[in-house]
Chains A and B, each alone.
Chain A
Amino acid sequence: MIHWNSFADFLAMGGYGFYVWGSFGATALIMAIEPIMVARNRKTTITRLQRQMRAETRAENRNTAE
């Protein structure tokens, strides 16, 4: 069922290797990087929000103590 005779054949893509792999490579790269960026952004956002929240709670406690 496999269309290719050899791995080199597969890589060559009948002479269109550069175009085919250029397309698939860029897509794979973007689909790998985008989720990583989103996850990293989520982490930094959570840390920042937690820091803000702690600062606010401290400020509130100080006000009630006075």
Chain B
Amino acid sequence: MKDRFNLYRFASPATFYPLAGTLIPYFAAISVIFGLAGLYLGMLVAPTDFQQGEGYRIIFIHVPASWMSMFIYLVMAFWAAIGLAFNTRLSGMMAQALAPTGALMAFLSLWTGALWGKPMWGAWWVWDARLTSELILLFLYIGYMALTAAIDDARRADKAGGLLLLVGVVNVPIIYFSVKWWNTLHQGSSVNLTKSSMAETMLWGMLLMAMCFWMYSIAVALMRVRTIMLERERNTDWVKAELGGQVAGGKK
């Protein structure tokens, strides 16, 4: 019961805004710590891969970026579903705030993938199922941002964008399982829940980097959502107070 009460409380922008402001530095600091630890293990300690030499080290950003690009999309689709079902104010803002970071992660996944593909496969790009579905993910992010930016009314933009997100969510399992469902040039997953095909230091380096990317994404999305809140709630008392009591005092 208590949890429920809290959840509703933080669903209000007026409560969420200061909470997010307090949390951002912690997420940023944790991200830096995980990142330094991950880079240390991955770039300085981890051994050479017996097949790919030192080139495999791209994995320490390629996999975290790819995971985040899929995960952020799922979170956005979750918020879209909540927003469409319950018409909550915060959900649209959350999806808005996550989109650019998700798009950058998808871009980084493709970029590092190209730089990894060239020496290993001899091609920057191939129309392989994994690569193509990840490219579609990038287009979905861009499409969502373009669509919501084109609609002036924020609530209607959220609704249209939310539908796009929910339709596009089918692409995420396609990306994830593409290496199993089709014969792809892209290698199979290096890690799954039961076993891993990597040396221990490699695995830990990658997991730490994934945590770093995760915390980074949360910090940046929280920064962005705070600005969106001010913009969208500009006619409320709490935003007026936030923007400067001396000006808001004029009316009272």
Residues of A whose CB lies within 8 Å of any CB of B are 1-4, 10, 13-16, 18-20, 22-24, 26-27, 30-31, 34-35, 38-39, 41-42, 45-46, 49-50, 52-54, 57, 60-61
Point out the residues of chain A lying under 8 angstroms from B219, CB to CB: 35
**What residues on A are CB-neighbors of B168 within 8 Å?**
none
Q: Are A3 and B247 in contact (CB under 8 A)?
A: no
Q: Judge whether A23 and B62 touch: CB under 8 Å.
A: yes
Query: Taking the nearest CB of chain B, how far is it from the CB of A6, in angstroms?
Result: 13
Contact A41 B216 (CB under 8 A): no
Q: Is B57 an interface residue (CB 8 A)?
A: yes
CB-CB under 8 A from B248, the residues of chain A are 53, 57
Interface residues of B (CB under 8 A from A): 43-48, 53-55, 57-58, 61-62, 65, 100-101, 104, 107-108, 111-112, 115-116, 118-119, 216, 219-220, 223-224, 226-227, 230-231, 234, 239-240, 243-244, 247-248, 250-251
Give the shortest distance, in Å, between B69 (CB) and chain A (any CB): 13
User: Cβ of A16 and Cβ of B54 under 8 Å apart?
Assistant: yes
B100: chain A residues at CB < 8 Å are 34
Q: Are A3 and B48 touching (Cβ within 8 A)?
A: yes
- Expressed in whole angstroms, the minimum distance between the Cβ of A13 and any Cβ of chain B is 4
How far is B44's CA from A3's CA once the two chains are assembled, in angstroms? 6
Q: Return the contact of A14 from the options B48, B115, B250, B251 (Cβ within 8 A).
A: B48
Is A23 within 8 A of B112, CB to CB? yes
Which single residue of chain B is at the shortest CB-CB distance from A60?
A: B251
Residues of B within 8 A of A54 (CB): 247
**A50 partner residues in chain B, CB cutoff 8 A:** 243-244, 247
Chain A residue at minimum C-beta to C-beta distance from B59? A23
Q: Are B57 and A1 in contact (CB under 8 A)?
A: no
Is B61 within 8 A of A53, CB to CB?
no
Contact A41 B227 (CB under 8 A): yes
Of B61, B223, B250, which contacts A27 at CB under 8 A? Answer: B61
* Minimal beta-carbon separation of A16 from chain B (angstroms): 4
Q: Name the 9 nearest CB pairs between A and B, nearest first.
A: A14-B54, A16-B55, A23-B112, A57-B250, A13-B54, A42-B227, A19-B115, A14-B53, A23-B58
Chain A residue numbers with a CB within 8 Å of B107 are 30
Q: Which residue of A lies closest to B231 (CB)?
A: A45
The residue in chain A whose Cβ has the minimal distance to the Cβ of B240 is A53
C-alpha spacing A34/B97, complex, angstroms:
12
Given A34-B220, A46-B243, also A26-B111 (CB < 8 A) = yes
Q: Do B65 and A49 touch across chains, with their CB atoms under 8 A apart?
A: no
